[in-house]
Amino acid sequence: MVSGIAIGASDAEAAPVLPGREACALTINNVRHELELEPRVTLLDLLREHLHLYGTKKGCDHGQCGACTVIADGERVLSCLSLAVAYDRAKITTIEGLAVGSQLHPMQAAFLEHDGFQCGFCTPGQICSAVAMLDEVRKGMPSAVTGDLSPAAPVNLTEPEIRERMSGNICRCGAYPNIVAAIRAVALGGES
């Protein structure tokens, strides 16, 4: 037990869960974590305070800025509003889990190439959101500005389309033109 978290205990060996805690198993960045958590612990606090994954940022802590965005089972979620126990058996990807060794994820590389950040505080959430957003586009999911809603029509990833889809991620520095350029570069390159 480390900081109130049982790490590495198998189901067969697990001791009874302490009163006021819930058993929970999450795969975070391809590492399985067996945990005992208070039900009120957010996914953000689990990542930062318990697992010491500091890439995901605590911005507003009210779900308004998007700095805490992570990918849960392929969908982007605001980790500050998500209870960790609700993601039992989920696969979570944070900014730390996108790169493979020293090889940056294409979206990370595009943000560097297109100068898609200034202070960098929102960048992890922006990148995770952009990666999941491109998966949504590939699945044909429309946004509020998608013109043709017929199932056979591919989503045209225009600048307004990207801006609408990324509108939940705020950049206080105003690096939006470069963020959009980075996302378009990855989308046109076919990588994510």
Beta bridge partners of 100: 103
Q: Are residues 71 and 112 in the same domain?
A: no
Rg, Å, the chain Cα set: 18
Q: Are residues 136 and 172 in the same domain?
A: yes
Give the burial class of 8: count Cβ atoms within 10 A of its Cβ; 0-12 exposed, 13-18 middle, 19 or more buried.
exposed
In this predicted structure, what is the pLDDT of residue 154? 80
Q: Are residues 144 and 185 in the same domain?
A: yes
pLDDT at position 6 over 60: no
Angle between helices 123-138 and 106-113 (to 10 degrees): 120
Range of the domain at 151: 106-189
In this predicted structure, what is the pLDDT of residue 19? 79
Q: How much of the chain, in percent, has pLDDT values that exceed 90?
A: 78
Q: Are residues 121 and 180 in the same domain?
A: yes
Q: Is residue 173 part of a domain?
A: yes
In this predicted structure, what is the pLDDT of residue 148? 81
Q: Is residue 64 part of a domain?
A: yes
Do 8 and 34 contact (CB within 8 A), yes or no?
A: yes
- Give this prediction's pTM: 0.87
Q: Are residues 153 and 87 in the same domain?
A: no
Q: Are residues 36 and 83 in the same domain?
A: yes
**How many structural domains is the chain composed of?**
2
In this predicted structure, what is the pLDDT of residue 118? 93
Domain CATH for 121: 1.10.150.120
Domain boundary among 97, 119, 140: 97
Q: Are residues 78 and 122 in the same domain?
A: no
Q: Are residues 176 and 130 in the same domain?
A: yes
Q: Is residue 15 part of a domain?
A: no
pLDDT at position 4 over 50: no
Q: Are residues 82 and 112 in the same domain?
A: no
Domain CATH for 64: 3.10.20.30
In this predicted structure, what is the pLDDT of residue 155? 82
Q: pLDDT tens across 134-182, in order? A: 999 999 888 988 888 877 778 889 999 999 999 999 999 999 999 999 9
Token duo for residue 89: 């058996």
Q: Is residue 10 part of a domain?
A: no
Q: What rounded mean pLDDT belongs to the chain?
A: 90
Rounded average pLDDT over 64-82: 98
Q: Is residue 12 part of a domain?
A: no
Do 28 and 92 contact (CB within 8 A), yes or no?
A: yes
pLDDT at position 107 over 60: yes
Do 27 and 90 contact (CB within 8 A), yes or no?
A: yes
Q: Are residues 124 and 92 in the same domain?
A: no
